[in-house]
Amino acid sequence: MGLCCGMIGLPNVGKTTVFNALVGAGAVAANYPFSTVETNVGIAPVPDPRLDRLVEIFHSKKKTPSTLEVRDIAGLVEGASKGEGLGNQFLAQIREVDALMHVVRCFQNDDVVHVGGEVNPLRDIETIETELMLADVETLDRRKQRVEKKVRSGDPKAAKELAVVQQFIDLLNKGEWLGNRSLTADERVILNECQLLSAKPILFIANAAEGAGEDDPPVKPVKELADQRGARLVILYGQLEAELSTLSAEDRAEYMTEVGLKESGLVRLARVAYELLGLITFFTAGEVESRAWPIRKGLKASEAAGKIHSDMERGFIRAEVYHYDDLVACGSEAKVREKGLFRLEGRDYVIKEGDVVYFRFNV
């Protein structure tokens, strides 16, 4: 289990280069629009040094990290919601993702054609988001027609639903990104059922020249927009990350030290994506396998057990829990027990970031 993100952006912003750097998939990256004519899907393990340490402590035969699934969607253009470019077939492919990764071109390179003629990050963002909102309006219009029939038939709940649908249509027609709004439970249900693109959490990826920071002229407006939205921004050096992805672990570490990078783009991107979606990681560990499990923050022990297997949630007895930091400090699980840091928790215990858990359950 893991995250699923849809990577969107204009053609020639470096989406496929960034995609290859993250998942090492070797997809084509060419200097012309629509070189990505099929959705590239890659699954990358999310590096977590804590998991490596658990493998050492327990001498685990198998290590299973969390994963990040990335769908590289063909470059969208103005008119995509009406079928321009590669159109609606690609918009449909990102409706089921957990979050959107919007790659924005923040680098100058005369050898790489920009479809807008010049690098202008805010204009590019507006172009993409307008198409997503227009696609959502079409989705909501179809929903509205169905609900109106229910209203005419006397369905008492339909009138309330119709009001919500019309409210969303009006907001989108005004250019308001729905993901910026605080929503009621009823509104959230409708958004989820419609799989609206403009309601998904969004993470901006500034694909920048090596060494660029938040105050770099092309990056700064994207940072300011992300702050206004309460969104997230990750600055990636797409070409550099692509080069790193081809190196061995040892050479990669050496190269990163040379260029002043403390961690790879994948690590930073996964961490920010987890924060965006309100995810935490707990671990199961033992001689057979040590594994990282991403779950929603606030999940109870019985629910977390269900993420491993539904039988574990149904037959839940208790959770045996201690924290990763305590394990490392003590050096072994036996020492954790000796120091009284090993706990027995019931089904309502809320799993914490870094918990190491063993679930007891009836089959």
The answer to whether residues 67 and 11 belong to one domain is yes
**What contacts 24+ positions apart, CB below 8 Å, involve 45-51?**
46/2, 46/266, 46/267, 46/270, 46/292, 47/264, 47/266, 47/267, 47/270, 48/281, 48/292, 50/281, 50/283, 50/292, 50/324, 50/354, 51/283, 51/290, 51/291, 51/292
Residue 280's beta-bridge partner residues? 295
- Which residue range forms the structural domain that includes residue 255? 2-118+200-276
The answer to whether residues 180 and 204 belong to one domain is no
Any domain includes 103 = yes
* Phi, psi (rounded to 5 degrees) for 358: -120, 125
Any domain includes 97 = yes
The answer to whether residues 16 and 113 belong to one domain is yes
Total structural domains in the chain?
3
Any domain includes 243 = yes
Any domain includes 210 = yes
The answer to whether residues 263 and 177 belong to one domain is no
Q: Which residue ranges of the chain lie beneath pLDDT 50? A: 25-37, 80-81, 83-87
The answer to whether residues 87 and 182 belong to one domain is no
The answer to whether residues 176 and 258 belong to one domain is no
C-alpha 321/C-alpha 304 separation (Å) is 12
Any domain includes 283 = no
Report pLDDT digits (tens) over 8-24: 888 878 887 788 777 76
Can you give the pLDDT at residue 274?
84
pTM: 0.81
Any domain includes 293 = no
Structure letter (DSSP) for residue 198: G
- The CATH number given to whatever domain includes residue 181 is 1.10.150.300
- The CATH number given to whatever domain includes residue 317 is 3.10.20.30
Can you give the pLDDT at residue 114?
62
The answer to whether residues 185 and 39 belong to one domain is no
The answer to whether residues 7 and 39 belong to one domain is yes
- The CATH number given to whatever domain includes residue 222 is 3.40.50.300
Report pLDDT digits (tens) over 46-91: 888 999 999 999 999 999 998 888 888 765 555 544 544 444 556 7
Can you give the pLDDT at residue 328?
97
Any domain includes 156 = yes
Can you give the pLDDT at residue 29?
41
The answer to whether residues 228 and 99 belong to one domain is yes
